[in-house]
Amino acid sequence: MTGPEHASSLPSDPGELANSLMDQLVARAQRNLDRMRDLGDRMAAIRVTETSPDGAVTVTVDGTGALLDLELGAAIREWTPARFDEVVVGTAQRAAAAAFARHAELVTEFNESLSGKTGEL
């Protein structure tokens, strides 16, 4: 916001200048607040579903990796407890990793939007 073209667009009256600068500051703060709210909404909406390679276990997690749903197929009846643990935990870990990756993408987009590297969120 420097340079001759910017300086000529500023009001010459000190009171008007102060009002103009304050209006710009308020508008910028409102845009950033809107971006933060949007980020919060988008993060809260993250849902990732992962299914085990054999299709017997399906896990859904939220953006924090918290378990939202667990579906178990009939094949688990034949499994040992160790196999059950391995498949359920492994599937949940993959779902949580994908949710964390999406979470990180949203935060990166948000940070870039604040620094002016990309467009609005």
Instruction: Measure the CA–CA gap between 75 and 104, rounded to whole angstroms.
Output: 35
Higher pLDDT, 57 or 30: 57
Q: To which H or E segment does residue 59 belong?
A: strand 57-62
Q: Which two tokens stand for residue 59?
A: 């896990």
Asked if residues 6 and 17 have their Cβ atoms less than 8 Å apart, the reply is no
pLDDT at 73 over 80: yes
Q: Convert the pLDDT of each residue in 96-117 to its tens digit.
A: 999 999 999 999 998 888 887 5
* pLDDT at position 117: 58
13-17, 38-42, 51-55, 87-91: least confident range: 13-17
Q: Label residue 11 by pLDDT band (50, 70, 90).
A: confident
Nearest to 103 by CA among 29, 51, 31, 42: 42
Q: Model's pTM, two decimal places?
A: 0.73
